[in-house]
A and B are shown apart, each in its own frame.
Chain A
Amino acid sequence: MTSAHVTLNSTLPVDELARTTDGTSARDRFAELLAAHWDRAYRFAYHLTGNAADSDDLIQQAAEEAFRAFHRFQPGTRFDRWFFRIMHNSFVDRIRRDRRRKIFSLDEVTGVVTSDAADPSAIAEGALDGPVLRALRALPPDPRAVIALVDLLGLPYDDAAEILHCPVGTVRSRLHRARLALREWLRPYVDAMKRGDL
């Protein structure tokens, strides 16, 4: 910020001045941080929502909320965790608002997953993510978020706990229950994986 810039803006009301000087540079800093973590943030959004349209909406909404709260972000702390947490909050709010969002029962999921291919060893290489993604989408939101952070994005438990705003022990138990549910839903693929057929 040059002194000439301050002089030019000094005729504005105080609130306006604060917005102009802070707003511009804060937006640049925000854009830089968001771009650095964009791809991983998108993967989290995608696995939370389960489809491209909703993940686009979610990450855009989260970006707007994060920018409004950006003055509370402490430089030097992890932007990705901070942003993931905001995005997860947005996601939870969405689910609460959208009561029409359907959460499949275990029986329905079993049907969906196993009808895809009776013989898992016969499915083509690269086609496996179909049933796995469907099983992921069938998990309730909380365990799905833990699986996304720990198993898909590779974050440590304590990062996941910070993002999901819960104790590490809760992350651990949710993760375990989610893996057990996926084991049941994906039983033929799990067995094939153990035999080394996948």
Chain B
Amino acid sequence: MSAAGLAVERPVGHTRLGSLASHLLLIATTLVVLLPLLWVLRTAFVDRYDAYLIPPKLDAPLTLENFHQIFVVDEFTPYIINSLIVAISVTALALLLGAPAAYAIARYRTGGSPLRIGLLIGQMFPPIVLVIPIFLIARDLGMDDTLTTLIIAYLASNVAFVIWSLVGYFSSIPKDAEEAALIDGCNRLQAIRRVLLPQALPGIFAAAVISFILSWNEFLFALILTGNVSRTFPVAIASLVSSRGVQIGPTCAAVTAIVLPTALFALLIKRFLVRGIALGGVKG
């Protein structure tokens, strides 16, 4: 999102022609990235007949038929709710566990570099290596096809992610202001809540959004660990691609629905991070 924003300012010394060329290149690249998404959006709103038409009919009438199909006929709503429950719980728990850990690592070097490297190594396994044992363990515990299993599995990677991003963020905030708060009458927790957290909010918010999106979009673990009860939205969408063919209209409607929160968050996070909180308490 920032690439387009940066290109607006023309660097000194560039010719008009050069600027035109770079804009054309950017527009072309943007189209390559966006066209499939735009086409999905278009397909979601046309009827079954127009969706398959080649060459495509550009003035096809718009309809909500596909959304009716997935939400009312195919009853996707429970799967969406499952996805929401999982994504929100994982995000909340990951922050609850990860933020204090990140604070301890950033301020007290808890665990030293072994802990930091351990966190990173934990993230390097291919997911497929982890998902089979998790599935077997869950089945042995009688916890297969539950949201709890999925939440725990996601937490393992999301806590590590939250710790990693927040350690960096906390470390970038000078500790002087917290120490000033300690002297001004705070205990450690009050200093964190009243002085560190307000400064760290943009970073925490960004970590939360990314954690939410990671869980919301996740497919592999969900495919293997969930069944009829705990099925999540991405798995449900995949079921539209069946041996009897691809229901392209409803699939596109579902994809539109699943991308929506991500797109909204992307806009929000951009505004929030750009506005940020000006760090001016410590002279630079």
Tell me, yes or no, whether A binds B. Answer: no
A residues at B contact (CB < 8 Å):
none
B residues at A contact (CB < 8 Å):
none
